[in-house]
Amino acid sequence: MNFELRILNYEFRQTKKFALSFFFVLYSFFSFSQIASSIDSTSIKIGEQVTYKIEVEVDSTDFVVFPEGQTFLPLEVIESYKVDTTKLNDKFNLIKKYGLTQFDSGVYTIPRQKIIIGTKTFLTDSLKVEVNNIVVDTTKQGLFDIKPIIEVDKSPSNWWKYLIYTLIVLAIIAGLLYWFIWREKPLTKEEKIALLPPYERAKLALQELDNSEFLQNEEIKEYYSELTGIIRKYLDEKVYDHALESTTEELINRLHLLKDGQQIDLSKEDIKSIETILKRADLVKFAKSKPDIALAELDRNTIDLEIDHVKESLPEPTEEEKLLNQKYKEEQERKKKRRKIIITIIVAVFILFATLTGFVIKYGFEYVKDSIIGHESKELLEIKDWVTSEYGAPGITITTPKVLQRTEAEIPEELKGQVEVAMFSFGGLNSNIDIIVGTTKFKNQGQEKGQDGEKENKIDLNKAAEGSIKILESKGVENIIVKQEQFITPNGAAGLKTYGTARFPTAIPDKFENGNYVLLGFTTENILQTIMLTWKDNDVYADQIVERILNSIELIKLEEE
């Protein structure tokens, strides 16, 4: 009886498991019926693109979140396309596409992708993609000699545009300096009058007084103020330099003293006439006296006559006075010119300082300093036409600032006759950046079959890297820090990357400076291909050059059938 019960319990458990399994399968079917994923090809070549598509059918109120970022690893997302939406009855069909690729051969699985619809999360199916190598048949495609150097026309440069812009800016600045500083500006009427001799200015002032309407308007006070101001100004400049602020009595007393001292040859009658007119003007201004117009006109003519008498009474300037006056004028001209030069220099320095400040704010101080003083690495980086060329056989395609030159390789005595080395380089160990590309063919070394029957390469990249490190040490490089990792070129060739820091010797004996190095090694059959880059530490331009060079390296894998 117990045995039968156990059998029944077992059958019940099995039925329960089957029911649960069926339920989950059914649930999954209905849950995933609204999501589908696919790829347009299951087999591609290295670097080709496969299109991954996700289709979702949802209601109009559902919020859908598609996967973003590098969630497709080991495949890389090279492009994420916009969602394509179509309406089917009361539902929407959303299609999201991704462009994926891989730069190494093999069979890869695209992992399940998570899609969020509303508050629920769904997963797509995983898919497999095969990435194939590009096979080169060397029996049909032979190797060729190195092509001769040919002259290539450089692409046209736009340097002349920048030159024109610079000249235009300089011309505008020079024009502004000339117009506002160096140009002989036209004199105003007041300036022209101020440059006249005192006698001519006094006569011109009398003419302007005649043209005024003071007498016609019976503005006697204003008329006498102008009239006495003319004679006072003339006396102030030619006779007594306090004539303007002196009272009438003080001025007349000074004229008598100058006459008695024989400094002016002015008669007493002339001094009396000037005194009479000045006192009458004082009465007009302060006592509100109002002489008639005829008397005012007579006083005007008297002042005109007395100006002539004062001029005649003054002694002629001596030759020494004339020379001093000429020197004074020349000194004034020199001061004026010196002032213009100083203003020009200040403006030029300000413009230069403002320009440099603007460039520093935009590009940084180090960049501006290196642009003005010059920097070897910066000049290499900014070469417009970098050289892309193939070196060695089989070739290593690499892009460098300048073409690499063939150099003789130093082969140890024990290896002579066993290897063929082709080496190309640029720079040098003491320069800002050193580039060496080499191809070594071992005559009696190739591939052997391993235990699994697969061919194994007898060239050990680790030992090759150790040999290169020893070469650096033999050249005086010290404190070499060694790190290693796999390196894959853009076209899928895999190799060993040895890199790190070191202290490099300089042109000065016993002086070292910090630097970096990268050593790439690739091997196929009996061929070792190497690329070595060394550059100074804290050189941002050299860092960019190295990064650009590493991203340009391409090798062709040779495979035997």
Average of per-residue pLDDT across 231-260: 90
Task: Find the DSSP H helices in 95-188.
Answer: 159-177
Flag whether pLDDT at 151 surpasses 70. Answer: no
> Does residue 561 lie in a domain region?
no
What pLDDT score does 28 carry?
37
Q: How far is CA 452 from CA 429, 448, 455, in A?
A: 44, 11, 9
Higher pLDDT, 551 or 136: 551
* Residues 194 and 67 grouped into a single domain: no
> Does residue 182 lie in a domain region?
no
Q: What is the dihedral of CA 297, 302, 307, 311, to 10 degrees?
A: 150
* Residues 418 and 506 grouped into a single domain: yes
Lowest mean pLDDT among 308-317, 452-461, 492-501: 452-461
* Residues 121 and 225 grouped into a single domain: no
* Residues 392 and 495 grouped into a single domain: yes
* Residues 283 and 391 grouped into a single domain: no
CA-based Rg of the chain, rounded to a whole angstrom? Answer: 50
CA atoms of 441 and 419, how far apart (whole Å) = 5
* Residues 416 and 543 grouped into a single domain: yes
What domain range is 53 assigned to? Answer: 29-132
Sign of CA dihedral 241, 246, 252, 254: negative
CA atoms of 108 and 67, how far apart (whole Å) = 19
The rounded percent of the chain whose pLDDT value lies above 90 is 22
CA atoms of 201 and 50, how far apart (whole Å) = 97
* Residues 390 and 507 grouped into a single domain: yes
The rounded percent of the chain whose pLDDT value lies above 70 is 84
Average of per-residue pLDDT across 531-545: 90
* Residues 118 and 197 grouped into a single domain: no
CATH number at residue 467: 3.40.1000.10
* Residues 395 and 533 grouped into a single domain: yes
- The average confidence (pLDDT) of the chain is 81
In 3-state terms, what secondary structure has residue 531? strand
CA atoms of 550 and 397, how far apart (whole Å) = 11
Average of per-residue pLDDT across 475-496: 88
What pLDDT score does 353 carry?
85
Flag whether pLDDT at 407 surpasses 90. Answer: no
> Does residue 548 lie in a domain region?
yes
| Listed residues 313, 334, 349: the one ending a domain | 313
Higher pLDDT, 158 or 44: 44
What pLDDT score does 194 carry?
73
* Residues 295 and 406 grouped into a single domain: no
Judge whether 522 and 556 are in contact, CB under 8 Å.
no
What pLDDT score does 249 carry?
92
Residue 444 binned pLDDT confidence (cut-offs 50, 70, 90)? low
> Does residue 146 lie in a domain region?
no
Lowest mean pLDDT among 2-11, 90-99, 157-166: 2-11
- Please enumerate in sequence order all residues whose Cβ is within 8 A of that of 383, keeping only pairs 6 or more positions apart, or say none: 401, 402
Lowest mean pLDDT among 50-54, 282-286, 312-316, 369-373: 369-373
What pLDDT score does 146 carry?
63
> Does residue 407 lie in a domain region?
yes
Largest Cα–Cα separation, the chain: 170
| Listed residues 296, 313, 330: the one ending a domain | 313
Give the residues across from 447 on adjacent strands.
457
- Give the count of domains, the chain: 3
| Listed residues 313, 339, 355: the one ending a domain | 313
CA atoms of 304 and 231, how far apart (whole Å) = 9
pTM score: 0.46
Span 115-142, pLDDT tens digits:
888 878 888 888 888 888 876 555 555 5
CA atoms of 535 and 284, how far apart (whole Å) = 96
Span 338-373, pLDDT tens digits:
988 998 999 888 888 888 888 878 877 777 777 777
CATH number at residue 40: 2.60.40.10
What pLDDT score does 159 carry?
67
What pLDDT score does 150 carry?
66
Flag whether pLDDT at 18 surpasses 60. Answer: no
Average of per-residue pLDDT across 227-234: 92
* Residues 193 and 121 grouped into a single domain: no
> Does residue 173 lie in a domain region?
no
Span 314-334, pLDDT tens digits:
877 777 767 777 887 788 888
Flag whether pLDDT at 435 surpasses 90. Answer: yes
Judge whether 464 and 421 are in contact, CB under 8 Å.
no
> Does residue 516 lie in a domain region?
yes
* Residues 435 and 546 grouped into a single domain: yes
CA atoms of 136 and 113, how far apart (whole Å) = 36
Angle at CA 128, nearest 5°, toward 125 and 130? Answer: 165
Do the bridges between strand 114-117 and strand 120-123 make them parallel or antiparallel, or are there none, so unpaired? antiparallel
Residue 487's Cβ-count burial label (10 Å; 0-12, 13-18, 19+) is buried
Residue 561 binned pLDDT confidence (cut-offs 50, 70, 90)? very low
> Does residue 514 lie in a domain region?
yes
